Chains A and B, each alone.
Chain A
Amino acid sequence: MAESRNRRWQRATVAEAVDVADRIMRIVLAPEHPRKVRAGEHIDLELELNGRTEMRSYSLVEANDDGSRLAITVFHTPHSRGGSEYMHTLGVGDVLRITEPLQDFPLRVGAPQYVLLAGGIGITAILGMARVLKAVRADYRVIYVGRSRSAMAYLDQVREEHGDRARIHVDDEGTSLDAASVVAELAPGTELYMCGPIRLMDAVRRAWIERDLEISDLRFETFGSSGWFDPEEFEVEIPRLGVNTTVGRDESLLEALERAGVEMMFDCRKGECGLCQVTVQEIRGEVDHRDVFFSEAQKSVRPAAKLCSCVSRVATEQTDDAAAASGTISSSSPVETTHPVPRLRIDVS
């Protein structure tokens, strides 16, 4: 029984919009139909981009008791698909369409120990959980990782509220997090909740599986928005249907195929259910798997066999795999423009 699966849309008015860190803006929304918010919840939000209506998901960082004030926090990504750029133009009084709070990342009360791991803007999903765990006097730790202090939203708040329970790692201060060591220190039965870049989460997940810890104790949320590579434009062809189109940086493969008139099957649109998978026939470039449906083993097949079209992309093949070896969250090097455009030939169900 997935709770809050019914997406009830409503209007929400921007009540506050302030910068809280480098390229990070806190936006407080006043929804039309408030309800109490629980840790781990997010909202989906509609925005108009280039004449299209698109949807984005944002964790609820904070809310007041009756949920009539909802705070989200938006990182203006350097390689934005347009969403975060748009969000950063919002001002007090602007009206948006949002869902009621949705829960896909619930915090379970009652575990013997907790680790909350936030990478960068992932702090937005973690902050509320830390408050709950403090309030119920749970045994918990907060680990907050970022590139530089100035780019870490709510840093003071984390330190003030959680004191010795909080650990801060900053890449440009030389205190990057070693994800494997975090997992190595855990007592079995500890629940780890994480939200952050996919490199960080993949490193934790690998260490978790190597230690043979209970996989259901590792909790994470991804909106399919983070990849190993920056989004690039790529070409896609479906010979059987005579379809040829280009997937723009600011859209998904699924969206591009729908735009080209292909009737696609899908459900979650965030890389979880696997319904939108396509079969790869030929590829120039490398699949940037951004889903959590395929296993590590399935994702490491070369050449790639399948991918989730809702979130995964194709990127220019990298010649060195230094980036892949890193468990830190530093962003990958800029895309080289001399390579031919990545290309994908697929079939669909």
Chain B
Amino acid sequence: MSITTEQNATQAPAPGVTADVSESIAEHTTPEQITTAKIFPYPLNAWWVAAWDHEVTSKALLSRTVADKSLALYRTEAGAPVALADACWHRLAPLSQGKLVGNDQVQCPYHGLRFNPAGRCTFMPAQDTVNPSARVPSYPVVERDRYVWVWLGDPELADPETIPDMHQMSSEEWAGDGETIAAECNYQLILDNLMDLTHEEFVHSSSIGQDELSESDFEVTHDGNTVTVSRWMYNLDPPPFWLKNMRDKFPGFSGKVDRWQIIHYSYPGTICIDVGVAKAGTGAPEGDRSQGVNGYVMNTITPETKRTSHYFWAFMRNYRLESQLITTQLRNGVHGVFGEDETMLKAQQTAIEANPDHEFYSLNIDAGGMWVRRILEKALRAEGREQA
């Protein structure tokens, strides 16, 4: 909507009158730096994953909190996912505790009001009409790449084209599976964790960690909504996780490998990490990965509250696609690795709470995470929500 704001007689200071001093100070104060905020606010004009595809059904309602909004999720009989605010218009009873009734509608568990997928009330008890104002918010929702994505902000801006690319999740050229971690920390701490894999050497020493991680160089690039951190390590012994994967593809393999980690962040909370090893010196850095194994760690993090997050992940691979055994082994293996992160992230959040007066400091290795924070900060400022 538009309107001109050329002049306003009531606010313009009269000639010769100086504007209020405190006002001019406020105007010239540098905006507060929130890049290193410990409790990072979340943008709402963003596609967040609310659930795995299999969690949302036409049989029962799923209750889930995304960005501090309680949602009631279900599917129509035709299979379309629906996300309604989980509070009845009438007296705010949670709709997710109600049931699905005819024509894809939700019936409130308390007084039986019914709402359709658009969130409009279609039935009220003990009256012949329905109050035209009665509705609950129905959020834009898209099912893509095995996830159900919701948009909680301005619905006029909800463009499905901006959903992060996670195509490996639904591609015939990739196989794998994943899980959800109920992470007890602010979502940005998880994004920090994934944008810098130096921590593998210290947190995951028994599986994927090795000394070369903190010794090797990395390169960070970024544009408007993405950040990439690339790290190549040459001619090293594969850690246990990667040795096992090499032997799945190349039975009996032993020897040195070249190892890569290419971390791709997409706004707001998706990090897909291209990982792998190849027999040393067979051309992987130049693009020939035929003598190696390649995986994609598909992470997408959704703030639940300011201090808890839904951490959806999967491990996809592009070799031995037929083996369900390898799918299960990899999922279980990553489950173990990510369990170590989960413990660390919870401990970090606890320490943050215990030290309200202490701020974050940054290291060289935080470049990737800091660019992510900068992208989110810009989105938050555009929404006027930069205050935690």
Contact = CB atoms under 8 A, between A and B. Distances in A.
Q: A and B bound?
A: yes
Interface of A: 1-3, 13, 15, 28, 30, 37, 39, 62-64, 68-69, 71, 92-93, 104-106, 108-111, 128, 131-132, 135-136, 215-216, 219-222, 268, 272-274, 292-295, 297-298
B207 interface: no
Contacts of A108: 118-119, 138, 155
A1 B136 contact: yes
Q: Which 7 A-B pairs rank lowest in CB-CB distance, beginning with the nearest?
A: A295-B128, A216-B120, A64-B3, A104-B133, A1-B87, A272-B131, A62-B3
A198 to B, nearest CB: 13
Interface in B113-142: 116, 118-122, 127-138, 140
B5 A68 contact: yes
30 contacts: A1-B92, A1-B137, A2-B135, A15-B8, A30-B8, A37-B1, A39-B1, A64-B1, A64-B4, A64-B5, A69-B5, A92-B9, A104-B133, A108-B119, A108-B138, A109-B156, A110-B118, A110-B140, A128-B1, A131-B1, A131-B2, A132-B156, A215-B122, A216-B116, A216-B122, A268-B133, A274-B127, A293-B129, A294-B129, A297-B128
B10 interface: yes
A292 B9 CA distance: 42
B129 A109 contact: no
A133 to B, nearest CB: 10
A293 B127 CA distance: 8
B11 interface: yes
A295 B3 contact: no
B260 interface: no
A241 B158 CA distance: 57
Interface in B1-51: 1-5, 8-11
Contacts of A63: 1, 3
Interface of B: 1-5, 8-11, 85, 87-89, 92, 116, 118-122, 127-138, 140, 155-156, 158
A2 B89 contact: yes
B228 to A, nearest CB: 32
A295 B121 CA distance: 16
Given A1-B137, A13-B10, 8 more contacts: A1-B92, A62-B1, A69-B3, A110-B140, A111-B118, A131-B2, A216-B120, A294-B128
Contacts of B3: 28, 62-64, 69, 71
Contacts of B140: 109-110
A292 B10 contact: no
Given A1-B89, A92-B10, A93-B10, A293 B131 contact: yes
Say whether chain A's binding surface is mostly helix, strand, loop, or mixed: loop
A216 B89 CA distance: 15
Nearest to A69: B3
Contacts of A39: 1
Contacts of B9: 15, 92-93
Contacts of B2: 62, 64, 131
A28 B119 CA distance: 33
A109 B131 contact: no
A215 B89 contact: no
Nearest to A127: B1
A102 to B, nearest CB: 10
Contacts of A111: 118
A129 B257 CA distance: 61
Nearest to A2: B89
A274 B134 CA distance: 13
Contacts of B121: 216
A292 B121 CA distance: 14
A274 B90 CA distance: 14
A226 to B, nearest CB: 14
B114 to A, nearest CB: 10
Contacts of A13: 10
A323 B10 CA distance: 47
Contact of B130 (A1, A3, A15, A216): A216
Nearest to A297: B128
Contacts of B5: 64, 68-69
Contacts of A68: 5
A63 B8 CA distance: 15
A137 to B, nearest CB: 11
Contacts of B11: 30
A311 to B, nearest CB: 13
A110 B141 CA distance: 11
B122 A292 contact: no
A140 to B, nearest CB: 14
A135 B19 CA distance: 39
A13 B8 CA distance: 10
A295 B129 contact: yes
A260 to B, nearest CB: 28
Contact of B156 (A2, A135, A297): A135
